[in-house]
Structure 1
């Protein structure tokens, strides 16, 4: 596909060296998040009333779309929901499960989808489950009981209960979140940093006594605008250090004046990765400080387990309905470019960002939108698919020379956001390029400084003239990604044109080591 531009063209260079490495890329950065919120679970991943559903209540069309995103880890069941959730409500015969008010989203929770259904869903997706325990209204004993139910061989109360419910073999859930956003006054059972850290430590101890193999994740600040950021992070890291393996980060971003008559600052929005990088660096510094203060040799990784564009569909009042239609954000081209840059941040910070989960996966601030008779893929689906399926091996330390432009929030920012990966074992490489400019095309030369690839294998591009262009059920492919002609490799370099407002992926093949 050729995109006709309306702009001048400027030049940029991206220098790659397969020996100049940031870190290995943890596959767990390509994760998702499924919360009992709106239509994410019911009418999303579990929809037995749909004519498209199978005998388990899963829809093959939804499952295929999720599988194509190649999620490696899936966080569940919340989110704010988890701080009032009683996990035993969601097990056993469905007709005996209680209906409850879910206070976080003012919804009715039927509990028809729970622990065992989620594990079946995770197995179908071939994704690693990540469970969040309730440290709001929940006790540390309830958290430990859940670990027993999920992970221990039969012979005691809760493992026997799992077997009674049809699953004799342990599930072996490895990753466990110690609560959710406990720094937020909106959170059920909100705690200050010291109280939360102490409760998290005691929960982690008890859970590990049940299963020493698990990995635990402590709550970090809900976002950088919190008045307690980054002090909360410093306190929790220092107090809980020896009992945690990962530290959680959350952040959402938006361009709130996009659909109003107010001044729109799209240039700053398209430079959001400047903030993402700084956020990761701040938490990375807090981690290094806590390690030093604890005189520790262990490391703690960042788990960025809630991230996405979210600013239009605000307000989570479900009106005490089942599966209310809330927070159903419609994404456009500029949102997709921001998501591509966010994934680029995960590569640039691959040494510290080891898990990441986009919130969420279906219907609620999600890349997939459903109705009873079908679905469509939102614009943000495509950068997720590209990075998850092509960013493997090592993240490369990319050198970029490109024109800059002035932004209101971040000052001078490069027009080009570039990241790259290389897998020595397979010889596969990939470059991910975002042209942030709304008006100017970029002629970009990609230069391999050490060993040139044997061939360039594929190229894809997503581009358009209107930042607000979006997909819908009526126009499901208004904004998508297309294959483009693979540019000609000239020795150790290649030149290709990036239209304004574009995301481009270029893959290459080296001789495997």
Structure 2
């Protein structure tokens, strides 16, 4: 007997209007993300500034609205002054987080130029590890002040007359982690972040600030870290950060694909902690979340650890170059759905990272840039997931895994683009054995017709793309019809699905 699931979506069942920055990403001065990734003057596609145009075009296709920069762990010993000014005067530094050599050949102004080329804003992270309030304020002045002061005039002297006007700033990175250079206790970090926030707002009152949350949900200090640090920063910042990576370390795919149950609990716990501090302070402000590091990450750790230990102080060594397979793409799709389900509070999210380092885009030093399996769910969500997230009424068969019970076979979300009058259903069938029939009620979308059903599926869960051959790619299928106010479709076993609907007079755009 075939399995079935039911869902209802309605214009009035709204979660939130989606902040487009939920589709952000991350470039860190780590491995080949910058040197050999976005920047490679020796590559045949390089432009006059040394930026790889093939990489640039792949990033533009993703429509990434904001990019976290320059780290990551890198930022906790970053001297921003070294990364600006004449190249001949920029020093090389020992980069302590990843035991590499940072040449500062690409710095703040060059990255700003690149980000404009890919139509992305910057989320700038300040060093609250080895530095503090003073350097953060100087950096903000350099970036955002018009002129007539020491650091704004220095920017102009460096050939950048117009301020960068960076709006979103992170107050350090993973300061709860003992691996972090300049690691701090909750009270130490909370006081420093609060004082830095006050000072930075004196320079530019219009900026948004992100306070460091827990590095991941299993941290022993979670969620006490959030409660103690937000007690200092709650009325001074706009977001608290979350980071989370998952991996199929035990080669148990069912359990791996259920880990978004934990991710959802993480988001709910942080939200509850924020609301507790709001109540404690009698505040009228609601704290939103910046999930500014998330992805699958586990494939490359052993090789990277070996490089950092035995072959340190290289410029742009190959580090954290996970080669993703099909099941990883399913997990990324599930994580995207989870973020959208909580878009009422998650306003910024950054897939970590963007190029070469645990990334959807990979490059060959002398060859081409290519798309990993995880590129496609990220592309589909960014491209079609703009508008209003709708709360689905979903009934699905369930299964148990090693660590989770009552896991829904079908995980789904719908997005209503009220400007283009389209509806997109994102759905993952994480049942590894059975196709599932899905009937979705859409009676409030009268007159809508099927535009397309895009599927990412593969018989081999471990199949990966390579520079020579990209075999895990999406395709359009004829499995869906609309009858009597219902979308009727088949979600193939282990598949990522994008079902797009539009009004009957909808003009198809290329």
> Which TM-score band (shorter chain)?
over 0.9
Partner in structure 2 of residue 500 of structure 1 = 493
Partner in structure 1 of residue 40 of structure 2 = 47
Partner in structure 1 of residue 274 of structure 2 = 287
Partner in structure 1 of residue 375 of structure 2 = 381
Q: How far apart are the structure 1 equivalents of 2:276 and 2:504?
A: 41
Q: CA deviation at 1:366?
A: 0.3
Q: How far apart are the structure 2 equivalents of 1:14 and 1:48?
A: 51
Q: CA deviation at 1:29?
A: 0.3
Matches within 5 A, 1:341-356: 341-356=334-349
| CA deviation vs aligned residue, 1:197-256 (integer Å, no higher than 9, x gap) | 000011111111111111100000001111101110111112211111000000100101
Contact 2:170 2:211 in 1 (8 A): yes
Runs of at least 4 residues off by over 4 Å? none
Q: CA deviation at 1:413?
A: 0.8
Unaligned runs of 5+ in 1: 1-7, 259-264
Q: How far apart are the structure 2 equivalents of 1:227 and 1:453?
A: 52
Report how many residues are paired. Answer: 499
Partner in structure 2 of residue 268 of structure 1 = 255
Q: How far apart are the structure 1 equivalents of 2:452 and 2:504?
A: 16
Partner in structure 1 of residue 508 of structure 2 = none
Matches within 5 A, 1:169-188: 169-188=162-181
Q: CA deviation at 1:443?
A: 1.3
Is 1:90 the counterpart of 2:77? The answer is no
Instruction: Tell me the TM-score normalized by structure 1.
Output: 0.95
Q: How far apart are the structure 1 equivalents of 2:337 and 2:422?
A: 18
Q: How far apart are the structure 1 equivalents of 2:463 and 2:225?
A: 39
Partner in structure 2 of residue 239 of structure 1 = 232
Partner in structure 2 of residue 56 of structure 1 = 49
Contact 2:480 2:490 in 1 (8 A): no
3-state SS of paired residue (1:37):
coil
Measured at CA, do residues 424 and 107 of structure 1 come closer, stay the same or move farther in structure 2, by a change above 3 Å?
Answer: same
Q: CA deviation at 1:492?
A: 1.1
3-state SS of paired residue (1:55):
coil
Is 1:410 the counterpart of 2:385? The answer is no
Q: How far apart are the structure 2 equivalents of 1:56 and 1:135?
A: 31
Q: How far apart are the structure 1 equivalents of 2:344 and 2:31?
A: 35
Q: How far apart are the structure 1 equivalents of 2:203 and 2:110?
A: 23
Partner in structure 2 of residue 277 of structure 1 = 264
Q: CA deviation at 1:60?
A: 1.3
Partner in structure 1 of residue 419 of structure 2 = 425
- 2:440 is aligned, of 437, 441, 446, to 446
Contact 1:452 1:493 in 2 (8 A): no
| CA deviation vs aligned residue, 1:252-287 (integer Å, no higher than 9, x gap) | 0010133xxxxxx21111112211111100000011
Instruction: Tell me the TM-score normalized by structure 2.
Output: 0.96
3-state SS of paired residue (1:304):
strand
Partner in structure 2 of residue 437 of structure 1 = 431
Partner in structure 2 of residue 457 of structure 1 = 451
Q: How far apart are the structure 2 equivalents of 1:70 and 1:456?
A: 24
| CA deviation vs aligned residue, 1:38-74 (integer Å, no higher than 9, x gap) | 0001100111121221111111110111011110111
Q: CA deviation at 1:487?
A: 2.5
Partner in structure 2 of residue 150 of structure 1 = 143
Unaligned runs of 5+ in 2: 506-510
How much is the aligned-residue C-alpha RMSD, in angstroms?
1.4
Is 1:487 the counterpart of 2:465? The answer is no
Partner in structure 2 of residue 313 of structure 1 = 300
Q: CA deviation at 1:449?
A: 3.6
Is 1:108 the counterpart of 2:101? The answer is yes
